[in-house]
Amino acid sequence: MAKTSSTSTGPVKKTIAKTAAAIGNAAIEKDHNEGKLMEFFCDQLKDIYWAENHIKIALPKMIKAAASPVLQAAFQDHLKATAGHISRLEQAFELLGKPVRGKKCEAIEGIVLEGESIIAETEPGTAVRDTGLILAAQKVEHYEIATYGGLAQLATNLGLTDVAQLLTTTLAEEKETDALLTEIAENSINCEAASE
């Protein structure tokens, strides 16, 4: 009886040991993957931090170049909002216990350059220039919306609730700006540009 019992627990013990090892390996792999994902997430935070700072430098040039007072005011408001986006990202770095760092964002650099060439290629004080400025600004907004949307989701998946909340708040503001720019374009500037 004792012999039977010992032979039957042998394979069971082996199976338990194998299962435990498999769970252990899976846990190590999961930790490793989460570590990699966190690294990627922090890298993307640096990208958008650089982008926001670059936008902060570009917006005063757009305010100066815009002809419509309504558009100027919208850019002015977004400049203030951008300072808030930068500060939220700094809070996110702090929550993660990471130093506040930026990493050059080639995409935003390109979109801002495109905006500068629109200014160079259009007449000052025209609705055509304003149309171009809105187009350039909305490309920036869409880049930001895609980035904040993706990063907020990633933060949630990583269990970073407070960071996700910060990113979601900024996401809502970027969407609002995008909608406002569409409204300005549709309600006045595009018609004026067509009649110039």
129 sits near Fe ion (criterion: CB under 5 A): no
Q: Which residues contact 137 (CB under 8 A, 6 or more apart)?
A: 62, 75, 78, 115, 177, 181
Closest residue to Fe ion: CB criterion = 85
Interface pattern 54-83 for Fe ion (x via CB under 5 A): ----------------------------x-
174 sits near Fe ion (criterion: CB under 5 A): yes
Interface pattern 140-169 for Fe ion (x via CB under 5 A): ----x-------------------------
Q: Judge whether 196 and 127 are in contact, CB under 8 Å.
A: yes
Task: Say how many residues touch Fe ion, by CB under 5 A.
Answer: 4
Q: Tell the smallest beta-carbon distance from residue 196 to Fe ion (Å).
A: 28
End-to-end CA distance of the chain: 101
Question: Measured from the CB atom, is 130 or 174 closer to Fe ion?
Answer: 174
Query: Per residue in 27-65, is it b (16+ CB within 10 Å) or e — as a string?
Result: eeeeeeeeeeeeeebbebbbbbbbbbbbbeebbeebbeb
47 sits near Fe ion (criterion: CB under 5 A): no
Reported residue count of the chain is 196
Q: Tell the smallest beta-carbon distance from residue 130 to Fe ion (Å).
A: 18
